[in-house]
């Protein structure tokens, strides 16, 4: 009986012990359930994070693609203003084209990574810098072209003025040439004389003429000379102007003479005593002779000048005693 009393009936064990066991089991169960919820939450968070990262990569890809499109448009706009490229711009074109191609290849990859995005972003930043430099070179080139155009315009205006002046000068030269040719022709057609003689004559009652140098006996003076042939002159009616100066320097006026005033090539003018008209023979020349009568011929030197075409072509002198 005492031995049987040593075994304890669990159902009859104290309530406190039961509660401890139940509590421990509950804690273990709650921990297990919490761990399961934690693992499930972590799994969901990881899955959501991966989706978010994928979404961020796609958005970044599209943003970079848009930046690349804008850069290309900027580049195409810049190129339209170029008339002629220099070596530096041609090299810039090559660099910009290669960078655009490289960026496009990166952004077209199926499995795009953050590293790829960073590289694409770096290349786009570099591309923008190249474009800024490209546009600056274009600005400088445009300024140089504008300056060159202004210089060319100024040069064209200067050339126009020079051409106009040259045209005026050419016309003046042509006029001068024409005038010179006309003058030369006119000058060359001027007559010349030779065998120029002055003779004092006394006419006797019988009509016979006797040469004399005595002023008291002379009653007329004969002027004779040869008009030389001249192929530059026309065989036509010519006119010679004669001026005779008496010993006192006055101009002689004679019976039946035709005096007047003659303008000379020098710009001056001279009075003449008489004029002689004749039909000139350009091939053979002419022999001219005429007489002057006066009431008296005082002693002294008589000078006779002959003019043609505005030039003095002969001068001779006779002394009467």
What is the C-alpha to C-alpha distance for residues 307 and 287, in angstroms, rounded to an integer?
16
For residue 187, tell me if it sits in a domain: no
> 95 pLDDT band (50/70/90 cuts)?
confident
Q: Same structural domain for residues 143 and 209?
A: no
Among the candidates 147, 175, 201, a domain finishes at 147
For residue 125, tell me if it sits in a domain: yes
What is the C-alpha to C-alpha distance for residues 250 and 252, in angstroms, rounded to an integer?
6
Which pLDDT belongs to residue 184? 66
Sequence-ordered list of residues with C-beta below 8 angstroms from that of 130, at least 6 positions apart, any chain: 92, 95, 96, 99
Is pLDDT of 279 > 90? yes
Q: Point out the least confidently predicted range of 66-80, 108-122, 289-303.
A: 66-80
Conformation bin of residue 280: beta by default, left when phi > 0, alpha when psi is -120 to 50: beta
Q: Same structural domain for residues 132 and 212?
A: no
Among the candidates 89, 120, 147, a domain finishes at 147
What is the average per-residue pLDDT within 106-120? Answer: 83
Q: Kindly report the CATH number assigned to the domain that includes residue 239.
A: 2.60.40.2560
Which pLDDT belongs to residue 307? 92
For residue 54, tell me if it sits in a domain: yes
**In the 8-state DSSP scheme, what is residue 11?**
G
- Count CB neighbours of 288 within 10 A: 17
Give me the percent of the chain exceeding a pLDDT of 90. 6
For residue 34, tell me if it sits in a domain: no
Say if residues 291 and 220 touch (Cβ distance below 8 Å): yes
pLDDT digits (tens, 9 = 90+) for 125-159: 887 887 888 778 778 877 877 888 888 888 888 88
Please give the residue range of the domain that contains residue 244: 193-320
> 241 pLDDT band (50/70/90 cuts)?
very high
- Count CB neighbours of 137 within 10 A: 17
Q: In the chain, what is the straight-line distance between the N-terminal and C-terminal CA atoms, in Å?
A: 221
Q: Same structural domain for residues 222 and 301?
A: yes
Q: Same structural domain for residues 219 and 307?
A: yes
For residue 155, tell me if it sits in a domain: no
For residue 74, tell me if it sits in a domain: yes
Q: Same structural domain for residues 229 and 115?
A: no
Q: Using alpha carbons, select from 100, 60, 103, 107 the residue that is nearest to residue 76.
A: 100
What is the C-alpha to C-alpha distance for residues 297 and 212, in angstroms, rounded to an integer?
12
């Amino acid at each position: 009986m005492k031995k049987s009393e040593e075994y304890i009936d669990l159902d009859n064990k104290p309530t406190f012990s039961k509660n401890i066991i139940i509590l421990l089991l509950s804690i273990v169960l709650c921990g297990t359930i919490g761990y399961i919820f934690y693992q499930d939450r972590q799994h969901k968070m990881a899955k959501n994070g991966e989706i978010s990262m994928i979404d961020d990569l796609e958005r970044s890809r599209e943003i970079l693609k848009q930046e690349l499109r804008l850069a290309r448009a900027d580049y195409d706009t810049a190129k339209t203003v170029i008339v002629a490229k220099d070596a530096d711009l041609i090299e810039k074109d090559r660099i910009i084209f290669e960078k655009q191609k490289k960026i496009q290849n990166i952004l077209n990859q199926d499995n795009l990574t953050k590293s790829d995005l960073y590289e694409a972003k770096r290349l786009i930043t570099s591309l923008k810098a190249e474009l800024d430099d490209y546009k600056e070179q274009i600005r400088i080139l445009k300024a140089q072209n504008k300056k060159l155009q202004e210089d060319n315009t100024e040069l064209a205006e200067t050339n126009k003025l020079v051409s106009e002046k040259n045209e005026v000068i050419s016309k003046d030269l042509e006029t001068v040439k024409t005038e010179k040719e006309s003058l030369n022709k006119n000058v060359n057609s001027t007559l010349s004389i030779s065998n120029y003689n002055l003779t004092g004559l006394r006419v006797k009652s019988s009509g016979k003429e006797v040469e004399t140098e005595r002023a008291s006996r002379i009653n007329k003076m004969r002027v004779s000379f040869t008009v030389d042939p001249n192929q530059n002159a026309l065989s036509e009616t010519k006119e010679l102007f004669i001026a005779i100066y008496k010993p006192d320097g006055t101009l002689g006026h004679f019976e039946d003479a035709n005096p007047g005033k003659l303008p000379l090539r020098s710009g001056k003018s001279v009075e003449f005593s008489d004029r002689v008209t004749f039909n000139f023979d350009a091939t053979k020349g002419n022999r001219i002779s005429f007489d002057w009568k006066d009431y008296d011929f005082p002693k002294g030197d008589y000078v006779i000048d002959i003019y043609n075409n505005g030039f003095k072509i002969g001068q001779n002198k006779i002394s009467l005693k």
